[in-house]
Chains A and B, each alone.
Chain A
């Protein structure tokens, strides 16, 4: 698989953390098989008619149908059908193609919970071939069990994470998206239904092995409600002042504007007298692009600024920034990493193109297309790109990622020392801009 095909399997699914925990589907009934064939036809014709590129990237779309439809007709399980649909759209080698299993749409009932609803409180990344705890949420099961950032995740339940990560890390050394794929898979492996325990083997700072059983709990924040064909997802938002001087906001997705935007607006408005603002988009997998212009409006004082242009088959539109009545005019630092996707990448690159932000961290995922999600006849969701995105600077981000201005990555040593070197670099830059020095 190419890098973009892997990215296509991320996006919302990573946000939902569901893939690895979904059990294999049973044999198809005749009715299910009929719906699956209809779903294949739906996907095939939708892409033919609505993909932003009428030439379909030069693919022989009819030949692909002839190749793959018979295999769908003979598929034994729904998972097999999903894999074939992914193979079909994967030929584009573009982001924002996804097949979302139908059970992601099912509301929790009878105390049950979807595979992505629960968390141990650990946010993890693959760093230099090691699966590391990057952050532990306060008062989470992991926090109560004493898990610390920097610890290596050796095993999750029956999965030998250390060996698998190490092997894949070496095997895909030449791939630019390697860390995105591995970190995404790690995040998914840690997720599970609320109430289901995860048994973890961890290597602590001293090299000792710790075995913990962590019962998964609901994510911090709240569950969004479904937005059309986009399933409900956990959403969180954090804001604070660091040292009383620098504003800091972080959120995991551009979802649920009715609840997220007021929090964002209130936070940024409260930072009016701050030295600078840090927008932490590490791990933010994107969401509704409509929120971008409104967020950017807090940092752009002049009219006429555009974050970029989305181009569909039927025309193009600028993402025009509408300045807020009292925008923040001080320095803005945006933090990204390999799991920053889509709207996160647009906000980072767009504000940088507008001369309003400096970007810190690691290269982002490179998944920048506009898309929509529709339901298939078999109940699955289908996300597909409807527009390409072009930045004012001409920067190419789809398939490439946003290159940070200041490259900083996590290391086991700095994590164990309780440091966040990306955030530190951002604060240092803000201090340098305001001439007030650093006291961190």
Chain B
């Protein structure tokens, strides 16, 4: 932690020096931390490995608002390690949409589109996103985490890390230099209609069961702003045994 404070201190001094016009910029810059170091610091800053390891599953109740259009989608998300996922999304605009990841099967089921088993890049991106607390467990599912420099995120300096997963598209992650919190994600989500670039900015971090979680996530999706607001988080819930089981329609589709 002290090392990070030192880096922040150097940056602050540099900013002041620029204001004076003195040529302190020629002073040797502090070396950039490696991607692994940035991720490790994030884990530490958000609660530490032990706190993450104590979490066996998570249930999140949230709402996603499509800004401007005024559409609100109610979300209930169940997640468990290593990559089990079930989401129920409901709104007047979409009806009821279930989706999930279970034993490597990525699926969706809704009256709107029917049962779907996803494959190819769509499956890979979904598998990437289903990894439970994936930054906390980055060593298991990332091929590489490369520190690529610094950037300004909403007026604050951040370290940039390109995270390349074993499956799915790479993501560029930005971590606040001071707090170590994840403050921006640039990613691609592959859909049936094509690759969708998404910029997400997690914020409003709050401590839940020993780990800091972003209760608000502002996203830009092809020019549209979406805001996900978490309303409730529960950990280590007694879930039904079949919570992540494939629905009958999906099983039938796989058998065909």
Contacts and interface: CB of A to CB of B under 8 A. Distances in A.
Interface of A: 50, 224-229, 256-259, 261-262, 265, 288, 290-291, 293-294, 297, 306, 312-320, 322, 324-325, 372-375, 386
Given A225-B92, A313-B223, A317-B196, A372 B112 contact: no
A262 B96 CA distance: 11
Interface in B104-120: 110-116
Given A226-B92, A312-B222, A262 B111 contact: yes
Contacts of A325: 114-115, 249, 252-253, 256
Contacts of A373: 69
B68 interface: yes
Given A322-B113, A325-B256, A257 B69 contact: no
Nearest to A50: B223
B93 interface: yes
Contact of A372 (B68, B72, B194): B68
B193 A319 contact: yes
A297 B111 CA distance: 12
Interface string B182-193: 000000000111
Given A288-B93, A316-B194, A317-B196, A265 B111 contact: yes
Contact of B96 (A224, A258, A293, A314): A258
A259 B71 CA distance: 17
Contact of A322 (B68, B70, B91, B116): B116
A148 B194 CA distance: 50
- Size bin of chain B's contact surface: 20 to 34
B122 to A, nearest CB: 10
A306 B193 CA distance: 8
Given A293-B113, A325-B256, A320 B192 contact: yes
Contact of B112 (A226, A228, A261): A261
Given A228-B69, A374-B69, A258 B111 contact: yes
A297 B72 CA distance: 26
Interface in B64-103: 66, 68-72, 90-96
Given A258-B94, A318-B192, A325-B253, 9 more contacts: A228-B66, A228-B69, A256-B92, A294-B111, A316-B194, A318-B193, A374-B68, A374-B70, A375-B70
Contact of B196 (A261, A294, A315, A386): A315
B95 A320 contact: no
Contacts of A50: 223
Top 8 A-B pairs, shortest CB-CB distance = A258-B95, A228-B70, A228-B71, A317-B193, A320-B192, A261-B111, A294-B113, A314-B223
B197 interface: yes
Interface string B220-243: 001100000000000000000000
A318 B256 contact: no
A228 B222 contact: no
Given A224-B92, A257-B94, A373-B69, A294 B222 contact: no
A290 B70 contact: no
A348 to B, nearest CB: 19
Contacts of B96: 258
A105 B95 CA distance: 21
Given A315-B196, A324-B114, A374-B68, A227 B93 contact: yes
Contact of A297 (B66, B68, B114, B196): B114
17 contacts: A257-B93, A258-B90, A258-B95, A288-B93, A315-B194, A317-B194, A318-B192, A320-B191, A322-B113, A322-B114, A325-B114, A325-B115, A325-B253, A372-B68, A374-B69, A375-B70, A386-B223
A312 to B, nearest CB: 6
Contacts of A261: 95, 110-112
B93 A294 contact: no
A124 to B, nearest CB: 30
A224 B92 CA distance: 9
Nearest to B70: A228
B114 A265 contact: yes
Contact of A315 (B111, B112, B114, B197): B197
B98 to A, nearest CB: 13
Contacts of B194: 315-318
A261 B93 CA distance: 12
A313 B220 CA distance: 13
Contacts of A258: 90, 92, 94-96, 111
Contacts of A291: 112
Contacts of B112: 257, 261, 290-291, 294
A324 B111 CA distance: 11
B192 A229 contact: no
B253 A297 contact: no
Contacts of B192: 293, 318, 320, 322
Nearest to A262: B111
A290 B91 CA distance: 13
Nearest to B192: A320
Interface in B130-147: none
Contacts of B249: 325
Contacts of B116: 322
